[in-house]
Structure 1
Amino acid sequence: MEINNPGRLPIGVTPANILHTTVRRNDKLAKVFYDLKLMEREGSGYDKIYETLLSNGKQPPETKEGEDSVKVIVRKKIIRAEIILFLNRINTEYPLNQKEIICLSLIAQYNSLSALELAKLLGLTVQGSIRNWLGRLPEYNLIKTHGKTKGTEYFVNPKILQKTKFRGKTTLKGIENHRLQELIYKDLSTYPNSSINDIHERIGKEITLRKVKTLIDHMRVSDEVQSTGLGRWTRYSIIDTTING
C-alpha cells in the first residue's frame, strides 16, 4: 500500500529521522483533533505504524520525500511470522512501552544488530540515545550485548527465545569474537592469499564486514595473519610458524 500526501515534510523532519522527530504542521488543527480524542497532540502516529508492522513480523514503513509530496510505502509481506507469537508472549509478561517494542522487534527480526545498524534503522545520529530506545530491555534481561562502543552487538537473550519457543533461524551474526577468529583462521588455512571480501563471502555475509576486518587486524597484531598489497589489493594469509622450526 502506498500513501501519498501533498507537500513536503515539515522543516527539521526527514525520512531518516521521522520516527523520533515530532513537528506539528498545524498546531491549531492538532489541538482540535486532540480535544476530540481523534489523535494524540504530539503526533505519535508514525511510531504506531512502526510498532504495528514490526509486531506483526513485517518490514518498517518506507518514507520517500519528493519535490512536492511525501510517499509512505507499507508492505504486506510477513518477513518473520514467528515474531508475532514471540512478542505476544513477551507483552503478557513485561510492560513494554512503544520504543522498547520497536527495538525488541527489530533485533528479533535481524537476529542481532550492531550499535551502528540499530542507530541507522532508528534514524539516530547520537549513539548514546540508543539507550533511551532500549529502555528497560537490558534490565528485564530480554536483550544481551557483547562488544563495546561502536562494536556493540545487541541480540535477544537465548534463554528468552527458548522460554517463548521462538523458532528463529540460526545465523552467525551474533557469533562471539573468539569463535569468529577461529573461523577466520580455518578459512585462511584453506584459502591463503585471500581478500577481505573473499573471506567475508565464505564465512557468512550476515556477519558485518567491519567486524571481520577488526578481527583480522587483531590477528595481524598478534602475528597470526600476514598481509600483502595495499588497499583493495590487500591479501591475507596465515603466518607459517613451522618455517623457523
Structure 2
Amino acid sequence: MIADEVADYIKQGESLTVEFKSDRAGFSDDKLAEAVTCLANGKGGTLLVGVEDDGTITGARPRHGDTTDPLRLQATISNKTVPPVVTEVKLIEISDKVVLAISVPQSDFVTGTARGLYVRRALGGDGRPGCVPFLAHEMLAERIQRSETDYALIAEPQATMDDLDPHEFERMRRLAGLTTSSVLSTLDDVELGRALNVIDGKDDALIVRRGALLLFGHPTSIQRFIPTHETAFQVTDNTSVRQNIFAHDPLLKSAETLYDQLQRYNDEEEIDIGLTRVAVPRMSPIAVREIIANALVHRDYTLMGPLAVRLNSDELVVENPGGFPHGVTLDNLLTSSRPRSRTLSEAFFRSGLVERVGRGVNRVYESTLRTGRTVPDYTRSDSFNVRVSLPTGSADLAVVKFIVEHDERSGRPFSLPELQIVHALLDGPRIRLGELARITQMSETATRSTLTRMVESGVVELRGNGRARQYTLTAATYRKLSSKAGYVRVQDFEPMQQEQMVLTYVRAHGSISRREAAELCAVTSESAKALLQEMRKRGVLNLVGERRGARYVIPDTGRAQ
C-alpha cells in the first residue's frame, strides 16, 4: 500500500471496507483490536488510524517509544483477536503526518476481541457505515454461512420422535436401497437418524436435531420449529399462472415432488443419429434434479422466504434464500464446494438424490450443454439469494448430434471443459487461452492441456503464435455442426480484416514490422511476412530499411488516398 493509494481512500471517504480512526485523544490497542474484528467480520478492508471521520489527516501517535514498529503492532493485533487476525501494518506519510494503514483480511470465522467483544461492519441507522454489535442470531447465521456451524446439527429440545413422520423414514430407506448406501435400508427409524447424525442420545432421552425435522418432520412440525422452510412451485404461460403450489414438506419429499412436477412439463424433441433416435428433453433431468437438491441443501434456513421454482416458456428459474456459501463466487463456482450443511449434503448423497457430493454445479453445466443449450446463468445471484436460470427454448440439434457422434466415435465422452470450449468457440470464432481459462474456471496450464487434446482430435485448431495465439473450431467441426459458412467466414474474411488492421496500425504509428504485424493479426511470422509482401506488391505499403530494421510504411500517394 502506497501513499497515493491511501490518499485516494481518504478522498473517497469511509465505506464498508474503509474505516477512519482518530488518534488525537489516543487510540488504544484494545480499541484497535475492536476495529480490526469489525472489518474482519465484514468483507475485510483497510483501517486508517490518524484520520478523522471527515477525512482530515491528523496523524497517528508513536506506539513504541518514539516510533511505531509495524511487526510489533501486527503481533499485538493478533494477540488481542480470537481467532487471531493476521494483518499487514504500514506507516504512510501524507502531508507531513504519519497514518497507520492496516490491511484486514475477511475472516473465515466469526471473530471477536480477546475481551469477548463481537462487532461487525454494517450500515448504521443513519445510513453511514460503522461498527455495530454482532447479535447472537446474526452470529449464528454468519457461522452457518461460513460453514463453522451446521444448522442441521442444532438440537431442538422440544421436538420428539412424534414430530417425525415414519413414512419419510421409509422414503429414505427406499431411496438408499437403490444406492451403494443400501445398509441404511436395513435400519429402523432411530438407527437411521443416528446414522445420518440427526438423532442422538439414549433411547429414553432422544435428542432430535433440526436436520431430523428437515429430513423427516411432519409439515406441521416443520412449520412450528423451522418456519423458514417452504417451497413454491409456479408455472406461467405469458401473464397467466397455470400452477402455483406452496408446501412445507420435508426435504426428501420436496425434492421428489418438485422434480416430478417439472417432469410433467419436460417435452422432448427427437433427432436421428445413424440408426438411433435420440430424445432431447426441454430440461436435462440431471440438471433439474441437481439444481433442486442443491437449493434444498444449500439454502440458508435462518432466513425467511421460500425456495422458489418458476417455469415459463423461456427458462426455468430456481431461487433460494441465502447467497453463495462463504468462499464461493461466480468465478470459482465450478471448482469450489463448501456446503452450508454437510449433514444435509451427506444425507442427499446417501439417498441417491445426488450422485457426487460437491459436484452438483458441474453436472448441471455438463448435462445442459449436452442438450444443445447455453450454460446455466447464475449471474442474477447476490448476497441474499442464489438464482440459477436454465434455458428451456429450442435446442441446437446440430450440436447435440455432434456431441453424441464424437462420444461414440472416440469412445471417450467430451469432458465439461471441452463442452464449454466448443460452445464458447461457436459464440466467438477466435478466443485466446486466457479467456478460455476464465470460461472453464481452470488454470491456463490445465486449459492448454485440454486444448492440446482437442487439437489432436481435430475439433479445434490453433492460429497465431506467442501471445497472439488464438483457438478456433476446425473446418471439419463446422461441417459437423451444420455451419460450413462459419468456417468460411472465419478464414476468408481474415485477409481483408488483417490488411485493414495493418493499415490502421501504420496510420496510427507511422510504420509496422513483421513481428508487430504477426502479433497484431494473431498469425505466424511467415504468414505476416506473406501478408506484408502482398500489400507491398500491390503498392499499398513500401518497405524501408533492411533485415531487423525493416519496416513497412504507407507511400505518399497511398497516404493521400
Counterpart of 2:457 (choices 140, 162, 167) is 140
Q: Could you say what secondary structure the match of 1:22 adopts?
A: coil
Pair 1:91-2:397 in alignment: no
- Residue aligned with 1:43, SS: coil
Question: What is the CA-CA distance between 1:84 and the residue it aligns to?
Answer: 1.9
TM-superposed deviation, 1:77: 3.3
Deviation at 1:71, TM superposition (A): 0.8
**1:65-214 mapped onto 2 (5 Å cutoff):** 65-78=381-394, 80-94=396-410, 95-96=412-413, 97-124=415-442, 126-131=443-448, 133-134=450-451, 136-148=453-465, 150-162=467-479, 164=480, 166-167=482-483, 169-170=485-486, 172-173=489-490, 180-184=497-501, 214=520
Q: Does the alignment pair 1:2 with 2:317?
A: yes
Partner Cα distance (1:176, 1:128) in 2: 31
The one-character-per-residue Cα deviations of 1:173-215 (angstroms, maximum 9, x if unpaired) are: 5679766423545x76xxx979xxxxxxxxxxxxxxxx99924
Aligned-pair Cα RMSD in Å: 3.9
Q: Post-superposition shift, 1:114? A: 2.3
Q: Taking every aligned residue pair, what percent have the same amino acid on both sides?
A: 19
Q: Per-residue deviation at 1:146? A: 1.7
Q: In 2, are the aligned partners of 1:143 and 1:156 still within 8 Å (CA)?
A: yes
1:115/1:151 contact within 8 Å kept: no
Aligned AA for 1:28? T
Residue 27 of structure 1, CA deviation: 2.0
Which protein has the bigger strand share?
Answer: 2
Name the amino acid aligned to 2:392.
K
Instruction: Report SS of the residue matched to 2:349.
Output: helix
Corresponding letter in the other structure for 2:431: L
2:357, 2:448 → 1: CA distance?
22
The answer for unaligned runs of 5 or more in structure 2 is 1-315, 509-516, 543-552
> In the comparison of the two structures, how many residue pairs are matched?
208
After superposition, give the CA deviation of every residue in 1:45-92 in whole Å (9 maximum; x if it has no partner).
Answer: 212222232223322111132231111122223474421222222122
Opposite residue 32 of structure 1, the aligned amino acid is A
User: Could you tell me how far apart the structure 2 residues matched to 1:35 and 1:158 are?
Assistant: 46
Kept in 1, the 8 Å contact 2:467–2:519? The answer is: no
Q: When the two structures are superposed, what TM-score results if normalisation uses the length of structure 2? A: 0.32
Q: Which runs of 5+ in 1 are unaligned?
A: 195-210, 226-237
Q: Provide the secondary structure at the position in 2 that maps to 1:138.
A: helix
AA paired with 1:114?
R
Q: 1:99 is matched by which residue type in structure 2? A: P
Larger Rg: 2
- Output the TM-score relative to the length of structure 1: 0.66
The CA distance in 2 between the partners of 1:80 and 1:150, in whole Å, is 33
In structure 2, give the amino acid aligned to 1:182.
E
